[in-house]
Amino acid sequence: MNELITTKDYMALAEELAKSQIIPAGFKKPADALYALLMGKELGLEPIYSLNNITVINNKPSLNADALLAIARRCKGYYGCSFPEETETACTCVIRRKYDNDIIDERTVRFTIEDARKAGLIRSGSTWEKYPKRMLKARSQSYAVRDLFGDVLAGISTPEEIEGYSDDKPNPTNTLEIIIEQDSQELKDAKDNALAELNTLLNNNVPDNYIKRIDIAQDESVLKSLITEVSAMAHRQAKDKAEEHKKEIEQLQNDIIDKLAELSKAKYDNYETAPHRNNSISAHLSVKKIVDCIDIDLLTKYKRHLSTQLGACLIKQILKSMNTPSNDEIYSVIKEYESDDNYEAMSELYKSVKKGV
């Protein structure tokens, strides 16, 4: 019963979306839109994503290579995808899948420009001629994904593959080639703006797969969806970075507390007294409590200062235990290193003195 209601809902949705001015040209008929929506549903895709990514080539529905990989990534057993070779003449895709019994299956697919030439894909002015690197990647990626995740892809192919299967000229309103060549000025501007926004979000380091998705976008809704996706990803990364920053601060704070405790235990330079410790914290961190300081640079410098003093303390303890006449030269060097917070030099001096014991 729920399935019937859901189907009716899709039918009503298709009727409304077919009236839209921004729906892809291939889905202006409600029946075509419904077919795309139901196919997307079978593949686990949201309605708008389905309409924006399912393309009709030679009367056959298709999904671009990135969409196929996105479906694979949603599978429980997805275990990674990589491209050890990616050039203008060849691309190798390696994809892995882990099953419930912990067995890992792997597919490696290599597609070359010679393969494309033999298949008659390289025609004058075609996308294969203009963008061989991207087309090779799309072909090797789609083959690898369908080889390993064919059970979840319902036999769907990519637009590029369907074009290669037929000698008939593809419908120009749906081909990647025509889309790239005949973008309206408005869509070109939208693509430029989308790329600029992605550059801002990703610090001018936009991956090739995002650039490709911008290139083949058929309408602005696809671009808006991509920006939303990347924005969410950038937000997650910023959140993760902030968490790492917080952990680094907490580690520095704990290290400082430990070193103050060691100096206090050794009764070095009055660190055993609370007023001296408090004055030291205030002088170096400009706060009364260590936990109140979140400046990594200040915390790092203070940790270095305490580490240097702790080194000096250990050296003096060794010299005292040796029962030898006071070595003014060594004490002078210790004082110099302490004054400069030269932790590295103090560490080397400690090793040298300890070795001589």
Task: Kindly tell me if the per-residue pLDDT of 288 is higher than 90.
Answer: yes
Q: What is the pLDDT of residues 203-259, one digit of tens each?
A: 888 887 788 788 777 778 888 888 998 898 888 888 999 999 999 999 999 999 999
Sign of CA dihedral 199, 201, 206, 210: negative
Task: Kindly tell me if the per-residue pLDDT of 165 is higher than 60.
Answer: no
Q: Burial-class residue 144 by CB neighbours within 10 Å (0-12, 13-18, 19+).
A: buried
Mean pLDDT value of segment 197-202: 88
CA distance 73 to 83: 16
As a residue count, the chain comes to 357
DSSP secondary structure of 23-75: S-GGG-SHHHHHHHHHHHHHTT--HHHHHHHEEEETTEEEE-HHHHHHHHHTS
Q: What percent of the chain has pLDDT over 90?
A: 39
* Average pLDDT taken over every residue of the chain: 84
pLDDT at 113: 95
Helix (H, G, I), strand (E, B) or coil at 125: coil
Q: What is the pLDDT of residues 54-93, one digit of tens each?
A: 887 777 788 888 888 888 888 888 888 999 999 999 999 9
173 and 26 Cβ atoms separated by less than 8 Å: yes
Beta bridge partner(s), residue 94: 82, 108
CA distance 104 to 253: 43
pLDDT at 163: 60
pLDDT at 325: 61
pLDDT at 39: 87
Q: Among all chains, which residue has been given the structure tokens 């025609």?
A: 123
pLDDT classification of 117: cutoffs 50, 70, 90 = very high
CA distance 256 to 250: 10
Which among 39, 33, 28, 38 is positioned nearest to 14, based on CA atoms? 33
pLDDT classification of 94: cutoffs 50, 70, 90 = very high
pLDDT classification of 184: cutoffs 50, 70, 90 = low
Q: Burial-class residue 4 by CB neighbours within 10 Å (0-12, 13-18, 19+).
A: exposed
Q: Where are the beta strands (DSSP E) in the chain?
A: 54-57, 60-63, 78-86, 90-98, 104-112
Task: Kindly tell me if the per-residue pLDDT of 174 is higher than 50.
Answer: no
pLDDT at 279: 95
The model carries a pTM of: 0.44
Pick the more confident residue, 151 or 303.
Answer: 303
| φ, ψ for residue 337, nearest 5 deg | -65, -40
CA distance 41 to 18: 18
Task: Kindly tell me if the per-residue pLDDT of 269 is higher than 50.
Answer: yes
Q: What is the pLDDT of residues 296-339, one digit of tens each?
A: 999 999 999 999 999 999 999 888 887 666 677 888 999 999 99
